[in-house]
Structures are given as structure tokens and as C-alpha cells.
Amino acid sequence: MKQLAFDFVTPPRPTLDNFIVGRNAEVLERLRTVAANPGGERFVYLWAPPASGRTHLLRGTLAALEPRGSRVTYLETDEDLLGADAAAIDAAAVDDVDRLGGSAQIALFNLYNALREKGGTLIAAGNKPPSGLTLRADVVTRLAWGLVYEVHALSDAEKAEALAEHATSLDFALQPDAIRYLLTHTRRDMRTLIATVEALDRYSLEAKRPVTLALLRELLAFQRQ
């Protein structure tokens, strides 16, 4: 059972289907459209603070594009951008653009133009809208050319509701005291929280004990060892 406790920290692969929507129905629908119709709008910029779900949306869009034959890549560091081969990419997701250095910004500018010329797709994300980014003016202009959406992080109440609903889908009840404990004693991004709920379900079945706050504390204690 202890091994199970260590295993639970691996969140499920991000997809558009397992994204917790909250107030982001419009942006989620737009990204579904981008993935389903590469010939339509192909450039999207998402902005929000870290842990808001924007990375999930980037990776989820790539996951939806890949089965359609697109050669996809996820880029989040200067090294990623500088090493990217635009000729081998049909769709790129570029995360944390606000952190890019000068050379990587030039690489992003060139990648954007290359994808635009050949009908590719680029989805980028940063912590501010394009007008608030302290990047090269030509990069800011490119990011603002496409669709721009703010990603709204889930409130604690929305997170609690989503966790309770996910537990119900797994055929157990997650009580309010356990949810409050989760929200104050684990990482607060939804991928980790959902992974913890799923691990709690497996741990309960393995231990042949009902899901309680005590069982959750025990599981998290194993993880911290």
C-alpha cells in the first residue's frame, strides 16, 4: 500500500476532455474547434497566473491535434525554443512566454512566422495579456494577432465541487472535511488534486477501509515520507 501512496503523485495526461471547465467554457470550446478544424483560426494566446489551468489547455490541445496527423511539440524554456525545428512542427504550444530571454523571443518570432506560412497552429500562454508583456514588440504583435483569452482559475468553491463530483464518479463520497484538508495540505492545481482523489479511491479499496479524513491523512503521510 505504501508503494501506491508514492504512485499517486503522477497526474493523468492533460486532455481537453478532462479539463475542469469552471468559467472557461468559451476558451475550451474554441480550442476544441482549433483542434477539429486546423484550417480555421490557428493562433491563440492564453493568459493567466500560474496554476490556473493554462498549461493543461496547451497540452490538451496538442493531445487533440496529434491523432489528426499533426506533428506537435510543447515548448516552455529558452532551450526548447532555440532547439525547435520549425520544418518538423505542424502545431506548437509555447508556455510561459513571459519568461523567454532575447534569443528565445527571436526563435518564437521565427516559429510563429514559419507556422503561419505553412498553415500550422501555434497556441501560446503567459502570465499577462499581450499588451502587458515585456517582450520584443514584434513578438507581442504576433501574439496579439490571433485570438486572446483570459483563463480563469477555479475558486476554492469550484474546486471543492469538482473534487466531490469526481469522487462520485468513482462511486465514493468525499466529505467536506476531507476536501478542505486536500485544499490546504496538497498542491492546489487541479491535476494534482484529481490524481490524489483517484489515489485515495485505490488506497481505500486496497486497505478495505472507507474513505475518511483519517484515511486521506494516512495517504498523504506516506507521500511525505
pLDDT of residue 221: 87
pLDDT for the residue numbered 224: 73
- Dump pLDDT digits (tens) for 1-44: 545 544 555 667 899 998 999 999 999 999 999 999 866 678 99
Answer whether 29's CB lies under 8 Å from 19's CB: no
pLDDT of residue 7: 56
pLDDT for 182 equals: 94
**What does the alpha-carbon distance between residue 55 and residue 61 come to, in Å, rounded to a whole number?**
10
Answer whether residue 135 shows pLDDT above 70.
yes
Mean local confidence (pLDDT), 118-130: 96
Question: How far is 208 from 191, CA to CA, in rounded Å?
Answer: 26
Note the CATH number of domain 2-8+154-224. Answer: 1.10.8
What CATH number does domain 25-150 carry, 3.30.413.10, 2.40.10.120, 3.90.1150.10, 3.40.50.300? 3.40.50.300
For the chain, what are the domain ranges?
2-8+154-224, 25-150
Distance from C-alpha of 162 to C-alpha of 153, rounded to nearest angstrom: 13
Percent of the chain with pLDDT over 70: 93
Tens of pLDDT, residues 60-71:
999 999 998 899
pLDDT of residue 41: 74
Tell me how many degrees the CA angle 67-73-74 measures, rounded to the nearest 5: 120
Looking at the whole model, is its pTM more than 0.75? yes
Say what the pLDDT of residue 192 is. Answer: 86
C-alpha to C-alpha distance for 136 and 144, rounded to whole angstroms: 13
Q: 134 phi and psi, to 5 degrees?
A: -95, 65
Cell 497540452, residue?
59
